[in-house]
Structure 1
Amino acid sequence: MDKLAILIPAYNEEQTIEKVVGDVKAVINDIEGSVIYVYDNNSKDETANFAKKAGAVVRHEYAQGKGAVIRRMFREIDAEAYIMIDADDTYPVEAIPEMYQKVVERNVDMVVGDRLSSTYFEENKRPFHNVGNSLVKGLINSLFKTSISDILTGYRAFSYRFVKTFPVLSKGFEIETEMSIHATEYGMLVENQVIEYRDRPEGSESKLNTYGDGLRVIKTVINLYRGYHPFAFYSIFSLIFFLISMVLFVWRVLVPYSETQTVANFPSLIVSMILLVLSFITFFSGSILDSIQTSNRRNFELNLINTENKND
Structure 2
Amino acid sequence: MYSDWITSSGGRQGATVSLVVPALNEARNIPWVFEQIPACVDEVILVDGDSSDATVPMARHCLPAVRFVRQNGPGKGNALRAGFLAATGDNVVMMDADGSMSPTEIPHYLHFLQNGYDFVKGSRFVEGGGSLDITTIRRLGNQMLLAAVNRLYHASLTDLCYGFCAFRRSFLDQLDLHATGFEIETEMIVHALRSGLRIAEVPSLELPRRNGRSNLHAITDGRRVLRTLISERPGAHSSAASVGTVS
Instruction: Provide closer, same or farther for how the CA distance between residues 51 and 2 of structure 1 changes in structure 2, counting only shifts above 3 A.
Output: farther
2:221 aligned to which of 213, 218, 221: 213
> Higher helix proportion, which one?
1
* Number of equivalences: 222
TM-score (norm 2): 0.84
Query: What corresponds to 2:84 in structure 1?
Result: 74
Query: What corresponds to 2:6 in structure 1?
Result: none
2:111 aligned to which of 77, 88, 101: 101
Is 1:119 the counterpart of 2:133? The answer is no
Q: Is the 8 A contact 1:124 1:130 kept in 2?
A: no
Cα distance in structure 2, aligned partners of 1:76 and 1:94: 23
Residue 190 of structure 1 aligns to a residue whose secondary structure is strand
Cα distance in structure 2, aligned partners of 1:48 and 1:23: 18
Residue 121 of structure 2 aligns to a residue whose secondary structure is strand
Deviation at 1:108, TM superposition (A): 1.4
TM-score (norm 1): 0.67
Cα distance in structure 1, aligned partners of 2:141 and 2:162: 12
Q: Is the 8 A contact 1:4 1:82 kept in 2?
A: yes
Deviation at 1:183, TM superposition (A): 0.5
- Structure 1 vs Structure 2 CA RMSD: 1.9
Deviation at 1:125, TM superposition (A): 5.0
> Higher strand proportion, which one?
2
Residue 46 of structure 2 aligns to a residue whose secondary structure is strand
Query: What corresponds to 2:43 in structure 1?
Result: 35
Cα distance in structure 2, aligned partners of 1:152 and 1:210: 10
Structure 1 stretches lacking a partner, 5+ long: 230-289, 298-312
Is 1:3 the counterpart of 2:12? The answer is no
Q: Is the 8 A contact 1:107 1:159 kept in 2?
A: no
Instruction: Give identity over the alignment, percent.
Output: 25
Q: Which is higher, the Rg of structure 1 or of structure 2?
A: 1
Is 1:155 the counterpart of 2:168? The answer is no
1:44 aligned to which of 44, 52, 56: 52
Structure 2 stretches lacking a partner, 5+ long: 1-13, 240-247
Instruction: Provide closer, same or farther for how the CA distance between residues 131 and 188 of structure 1 changes in structure 2, counting only shifts above 3 A.
Output: same
Is 1:17 the counterpart of 2:30? The answer is yes
Supply the AA of the counterpart residue of 1:119: G
Is 1:65 the counterpart of 2:78? The answer is no
Q: Is the 8 A contact 1:102 1:111 kept in 2?
A: yes
Instruction: Provide closer, same or farther for how the CA distance between residues 83 and 39 of structure 1 changes in structure 2, counting only shifts above 3 A.
Output: same
Is 1:223 the counterpart of 2:236? The answer is no
